[in-house]
Structure 1
Amino acid sequence: MLRRQLLMAGGALAAMPLAGTARAQETYPNRPIQMVVAFPPGGQADVTARPVAAALEKLLHQPVPVVNRAGAGGIVGSASVARAEPDGYTALLALSSLAVLPEAERIQGRTPAYTVDQFAPIARITADPTLLVVPASAPWQNVAELVADAKKRPGAISYGSAGNYSTLHVAMAMFTNAADLDLLHVPFQGGGPALTALLSGTVNAMASGPGPVLPHLREGRLRALACWGSERIADFEGVPTFIELGYPEVEFYIWTGLFLPAATPAPIQARLRDALREACQSEALRRTLATAGSPVAYQDGEAFDRFFAADSERLIRAVRRIGRLD
């Protein structure tokens, strides 16, 4: 009888963590969910994260603070989420550079701070063709004039990016490789600081998602010369694609997506995915993001998995062409 009682007690104790986990999943979320952006304020990830977080707060009835954890072109913030407790309370609002940065670390001879398989993809939120922008005071009215000037003055024309191997760097590298140009790359800690440098005249050009640069284009402070999409952007009908201009391999999109640590229980992933899907269907969020120049391009499940895999493969090839940076 004693043996039977001990076995029963042991079984009850063994079941307690499982019961606790089940209850935690059933009540998720019951405290704030931290949304990490691995870049400073003002860039594409930040511009998307803030209205998305506000929409999720209303649906989940919990605060969703946006935390900018910048450093190493996005590595610091991304790695912090990869190592976070997989309980659904730390999420990453990532850019397409998520898959690029570990490969860049390998190229540089370093051990990656994280790997893509440490994340569970929840959903894609936006997918914007990138714009090539220059100050309105710049002498180039089109890409042909920029290319001609760059050929005459190798290394004299600079462009800013969100850091080495960042989305903005990879996009520009695609163009400079295709046009055989020698431009000076100036890496910053994120798209926001790079844009500030462009507006102040510290750098001469940059690639950007539409959201951060749209207000400055409307105010006439910046000029868009081309876009990296397969077709022209609806709000920028006068801006040609690089493909139109004779660069068929120059195509790039800055997309944003939400990720959780890979070991996060499936029911918690599903709860957050359902809330994000509902948020992205709301007219309020769609209007906010469209006004910011980044319309919703929601995608989840197998469709997002396929997109993420194909896009990552294409970007990793581009990073390998960039090679080691000393």
Structure 2
Amino acid sequence: MKFAALGLAAALGLLAAPALQAQGYPNKPIKIIVAYPAGQGTDIATRYLADQIARDLGQPIIIDNRPGAGGNVGTEATAKAHPDGYTLTMGTNATHVLNEFLYSKIPFNAGSDFEPVVMVGTFPMVLAVASNSPLTSARQLVDKVKAAPRGADIALPSTSARLVVELLKERSAVPLFGVPYKGASIAITDLIGGQLAAIVDTPTSLRPHLQSGKLRALAVTSKQPSPLVPGVPSIAEQGYPDFDVIAWNALYAPKGTPTQVVQTLNAAFNKALQRPETRQRLLELGFEPAGGTPEWLQTFGRSERQKWQGVIATAGLKAD
């Protein structure tokens, strides 16, 4: 995937610098705020990476879970922290893009209140059906609805899943109806029971059910196929060439954090993300390892906001 190449290039360039640590930074423990509960995917991946990077930087890294308001509580805490490099946040596509347009008011500006540090990991969503469904591709799902336009109910266990369905509905011009669920377990029961046409969820959530044969994957939502779901084509390959939806985790610091500190953190994360054992473990956790420069992450964030602002406004989506 393109993120891996960016990460390697950045790591080789930054690690060629005379010293990894900038002007004595860090000389005390670093705190990473995770705006989600302990045990959630972002939390697990952050803790794993923090253990490795702490060894490289020579200082402990403390994980501070501050869930609430779709991630806005913890993200606000980082935005208002002293910009010295000792308080960071593991941001997501929700906290640093989607929430800006889903919530009527949030107490920070995701585009201007943070210094981008590094893209950490990405993952597509997966469109899947029950194993007894006759459908074998996303294109077949769309064609079936076009032929008999009564619509199709799609289970949505998350905001990212909801956006996948809204974008597919926009691109295909067929009546796809998102059905919200709190978690995937009940949704999968309803899907197997024939009450739903399909589900959109993360590879990690769906993997046990795909492996057991209860579900069958029709497509991944990234533009290219993903190693997280081997052998499954993308929606882009099935007639929608510009379709590209990924969820992601990226490290951010408060606005005003010194450039040398940002570069030190970026180099440390890129170094860790290139280790074979790290890459393998992140894949097992459901993330494609990424990497890259702060400048690239800044540009990527802008493009994501431009992309989703229109989709969310057109669909009239609101989180409050």
**Cα displacement string for residues 103-141 of structure 1 (whole angstroms, at most 9, x for unaligned residues):** 223xxxx33321121111000112333322345566754
2:184 is matched with which residue: 172, 185, 195? 195
Identify the structure with bigger relative contact order (alpha carbons < 8 Å, sequence gap 6+): 2
Q: Structure 1 residues 169, 324: closer, same or farther in 2, change over 3 A?
A: closer
Q: Say whether the 8 Å CA contact 2:139–2:239 is kept in structure 1.
A: no
Q: Structure 1 residues 177, 281: closer, same or farther in 2, change over 3 A?
A: same
Q: Structure 1 residues 66, 221: closer, same or farther in 2, change over 3 A?
A: farther
1:159 is matched with which residue: 155, 164, 168? 155
Q: Say whether the 8 Å CA contact 1:120–1:262 is kept in structure 2.
A: yes
Aligned to 1:223: 216
Q: Structure 1 residues 34, 211: closer, same or farther in 2, change over 3 A?
A: farther
Q: Say whether the 8 Å CA contact 1:120–1:260 is kept in structure 2.
A: yes
Aligned to 2:35: 38
**Cα displacement string for residues 29-59 of structure 1 (whole angstroms, at most 9, x for unaligned residues):** 412x332232345655335323222222222
Q: TM-score, normalised by structure 1?
A: 0.75
Q: Structure 1 residues 225, 290: closer, same or farther in 2, change over 3 A?
A: same
Bigger proportion of residues as helix: 1
Q: Say whether the 8 Å CA contact 2:34–2:91 is kept in structure 1.
A: yes
**Cα displacement string for residues 155-202 of structure 1 (whole angstroms, at most 9, x for unaligned residues):** 7x242233xxx33322221123333224133164xxxxx234444548
Structure-2 separation of matches of 1:114 and 1:287:
35
**Cα displacement string for residues 211-269 of structure 1 (whole angstroms, at most 9, x for unaligned residues):** 44334433434432211122322454532221232234432122221111112233332
Q: TM-score, normalised by structure 2?
A: 0.76
Q: Say whether the 8 Å CA contact 2:157–2:187 is kept in structure 1.
A: no
Q: SS at 2:273's partner residue?
A: helix
Aligned to 1:181: 175
Aligned to 1:48: 45
Q: Give 1:70's aligned amino acid.
A: P
The alignment covers a number of residue pairs equal to 289
Q: Structure 1 residues 135, 92: closer, same or farther in 2, change over 3 A?
A: farther
Q: Structure 1 residues 173, 123: closer, same or farther in 2, change over 3 A?
A: same
Q: Say whether the 8 Å CA contact 2:223–2:241 is kept in structure 1.
A: no
Aligned to 2:308: 315
Q: Say whether the 8 Å CA contact 1:102–1:113 is kept in structure 2.
A: no
Q: SS at 1:28's partner residue?
A: coil
Structure-1 separation of matches of 2:74 and 2:131:
33
**Cα displacement string for residues 47-83 of structure 1 (whole angstroms, at most 9, x for unaligned residues):** 5323222222222333334344333322222222212
User: 5+ residue gaps in structure 1?
Assistant: 1-23, 189-193
**Cα displacement string for residues 251-304 of structure 1 (whole angstroms, at most 9, x for unaligned residues):** 212222111111223333222222212211222211211233423121113222
Q: SS at 1:26's partner residue?
A: coil
Q: Give 1:281's aligned amino acid.
A: Q
Aligned to 2:61: 64
Q: Give 1:321's aligned amino acid.
A: T
Aligned to 2:120: 125
Mapping of residues 1-326 of structure 1, within 5 Å:
26-31=24-29, 33-40=30-37, 44-97=41-94, 98-105=96-103, 110-116=104-110, 117-134=112-129, 136=131, 140-144=135-139, 146-147=141-142, 148=144, 154=151, 157-162=153-158, 166-179=159-172, 180-186=174-180, 188=182, 194-201=183-190, 204=196, 205-234=198-227, 236-325=229-318
User: 5+ residue gaps in structure 2?
Assistant: 1-21
Cα shift at 1:308: 2.4
Q: Structure 1 residues 281, 111: closer, same or farther in 2, change over 3 A?
A: same
Q: Say whether the 8 Å CA contact 1:134–1:198 is kept in structure 2.
A: no
Q: Say whether the 8 Å CA contact 1:95–1:167 is kept in structure 2.
A: no
Q: Structure 1 residues 77, 283: closer, same or farther in 2, change over 3 A?
A: same
Q: SS at 2:262's partner residue?
A: helix
Greater Rg by CA = 1
